[in-house]
Structure formats: structure tokens, C-alpha cells
């Protein structure tokens, strides 16, 4: 993942504030040439700095009102295969490898408790999965955010 400079951070912060802003509006707001904004946006998208648009869609709007986190223990040499199999389950939103007793933290969504049970059974059926502990997500207190980091990165460098 490439580093971003203060101008990139200002551009990303402006997009955070108004995700539908046009290139022209962004160039006027930031005092940059339209071509500069367009080139930087293309580079940020190409380098993977900007996440895919589907990450903005809330699963609740699709009926998946139940969220959970699964702690998954995996046979030591099976992480890649288990991760690939988890990626095939549409209800799996994210899989993160951890250090410690739990190998993978899996964020899933379900329509209801019965659906979550079926998802858990599907995860347990994956070859290499040894144990699954599930914790329901009761309430989100802080949504995923990057704006505070962008604000810090957009500050002029101290001399």
C-alpha cells in the first residue's frame, strides 16, 4: 500500500465529506487543477487506497440485520484453504488473520438466528476448521472511519 501525501489526504478528506463530488468541484474546493485531481484519483484507485464502492453498502439494507464475529481456529497449515473457502460464503464480509489462540476473525451477517446457525454449520464443515466461537454484534458504537487519520495526514508538515 503506497503512502499518501498531504494533498492526497486533503483530496480523500474532501471525498469523505462529499463522496459524490465531481472532479471539477474537488479541484475548485482544493485549489488544484482538474487534471491533477483526476490523475491523483486514478492513482489512488489503481493503488488500492480507495476501497471498492460496495463497502459503502450496509448489509442491513439488504435484510441482513444480524451481525456476528466468529473466532475460528484452523489446522496450522490450512489457513489459505480455509480463507479461500470462507470467501465463497456470501455472508462473510471480512476475514482477518490474528496472532494468538484464534487464527481467524470472521465478520458475518445473517438474516436471523436460524440463518446464523446455518452459516456456522457451513464454516464448521470447511476442511481444516477445528473450532468456531461466535459472538453477536449487539451495537456499533463507532463506525469504521478514516477521517481522523486523513485530517492528521492533511496537516502541513511542521518545520
> What confidence tens digit (pLDDT) does each residue in 74-87 have?
998 889 999 999 99
Query: CB–CB of 7/40 below 8 Å?
Result: yes
pLDDT digits (tens, 9 = 90+) for 83-102: 999 999 999 999 999 999 89
Alpha helices in the chain (DSSP H): 6-17, 23-30, 34-46, 79-87, 113-124, 147-154
Q: Which domains does the chain have, with CATH numbers?
A: 6-54 (1.10.10.10), 62-136 (3.30.70.920)
> With 70 as the cut, is the pLDDT of residue 38 above it?
yes
Element (H, E) at 131: strand 129-136
Burial of 107 (0-12, 13-18, 19+ CB in 10 A): middle
pLDDT attached to residue 2: 66
Burial of 119 (0-12, 13-18, 19+ CB in 10 A): buried
pLDDT attached to residue 124: 97
Separation of alpha carbons 33 and 117, rounded Å: 54
pLDDT attached to residue 158: 60
Q: Average of pLDDT values for 41-69?
A: 89
pLDDT attached to residue 48: 86
pLDDT digits (tens, 9 = 90+) for 112-136: 999 999 999 999 999 999 999 999 9
Return the number of other C-beta atoms located less than 10 Å from residue 8's C-beta.
20
Closest to 21 (Cα-Cα) out of 38, 3, 6, 9: 38
Of all residues in the chain, the percent with pLDDT exceeding 70 is 97
Element (H, E) at 66: strand 66-74
Amino acid at each position: 500500500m503506497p503512502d499518501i501525501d498531504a494533498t492526497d489526504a486533503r483530496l480523500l478528506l474532501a471525498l469523505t465529506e462529499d463522496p459524490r463530488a465531481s472532479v471539477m468541484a474537488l479541484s475548485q474546493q482544493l485549489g488544484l487543477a482538474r487534471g491533477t485531481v483526476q490523475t491523483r484519483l486514478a492513482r489512488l484507485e489503481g493503488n488500492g487506497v480507495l476501497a471498492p464502492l460496495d463497502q459503502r453498502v450496509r448489509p442491513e439494507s439488504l435484510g441482513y440485520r444480524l451481525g456476528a464475529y466468529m473466532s475460528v481456529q484452523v489446522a496450522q497449515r490450512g489457513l489459505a484453504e480455509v480463507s479461500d473457502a470462507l470467501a465463497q460464503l456470501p455472508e462473510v464480509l471480512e476475514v482477518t488473520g490474528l496472532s494468538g489462540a484464534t487464527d481467524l476473525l470472521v465478520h458475518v451477517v445473517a438474516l436471523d438466528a436460524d440463518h446464523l446457525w446455518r452459516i456456522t454449520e457451513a464454516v464448521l464443515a470447511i476442511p481444516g476448521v477445528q473450532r468456531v466461537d461466535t459472538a453477536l454484534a449487539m451495537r456499533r458504537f463507532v463506525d469504521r472511519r478514516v477521517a481522523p487519520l486523513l485530517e492528521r495526514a492533511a496537516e502541513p508538515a511542521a518545520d
